[in-house]
């Protein structure tokens, strides 16, 4: 089984604007929404290829519920830890004359959330593949480093 971990998932909200003018009200000509985050992207590709996998990570609030629903609708087995405070981030991608991005911060994860992730990772078996992908907020770097040192051969 392949497992992916996305430490800081998102809703990627992609808007197209014909002629973006800063300081003015701009109207979109197209809008798309996708579940985002590097590990989630890996899970989506694997699912599209018909390869069974499970996505792990941290979700919070109504945006986290939306990510969970979008993943399930796309055939991804999503087994995320529900963080008590905050919301899963929203990243705004602006397609205009020049492309720009505004990426949200996401919720803070506490020690209990990290322990819950360790419990999930502790159930992996020989032959399972674990993909740790993406970045996390500075305050959460210790979680990423502990997971990498424990689970990565690199």
pLDDT digits (tens, 9 = 90+) for 25-48: 999 999 999 999 999 999 999 999
Q: How confident is the model at residue 154 (pLDDT cuts 50, 70, 90)?
A: very low
In this predicted structure, what is the pLDDT of residue 137? 61
What's the rounded mean pLDDT across residues 54-83? 96
Residues 92 and 59: their CA atoms lie apart, in Å, by 18
Radius of gyration of the chain (CA): 17
What is the pLDDT, as a whole number, of residue 145?
55
pLDDT band at 95 (very low <50, low <70, confident <90, very high): very high
pLDDT tens digit sequence for 102-128: 999 999 889 999 999 999 999 999 999
Q: Which residue has the higher pLDDT, 60 or 147?
A: 60
Burial grade of 21 (CB within 10 A; 0-12, 13-18, 19 or more): exposed
* Three-state DSSP string of 29-48: CEEEEEEECHHHHHHHHHHH
């Amino acid at each position: 089984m392949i497992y992916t971990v996305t430490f800081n998932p998102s809703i990627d909200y992609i808007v197209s604007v014909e002629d973006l003018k800063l300081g003015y009200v701009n109207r979109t000509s197209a809008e798309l929404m996708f579940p985002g985050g590097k590990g989630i992207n890996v899970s989506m590709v694997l699912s599209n290829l018909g390869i069974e996998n499970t996505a792990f990570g941290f979700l919070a609030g109504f945006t986290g519920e939306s990510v969970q629903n979008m993943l399930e609708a796309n055939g991804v087995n999503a087994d995320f830890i529900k963080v008590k405070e905050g919301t899963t981030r929203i990243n705004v991608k602006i397609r205009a004359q020049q492309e720009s991005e505004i990426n949200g911060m996401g919720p803070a994860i506490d020690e209990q959330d990290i322990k819950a992730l360790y419990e999930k990772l502790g159930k992996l078996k020989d032959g399972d593949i674990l993909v740790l992908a993406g970045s996390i907020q500075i305050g959460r770097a210790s979680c990423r480093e502990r997971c990498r040192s424990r689970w990565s051969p690199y």
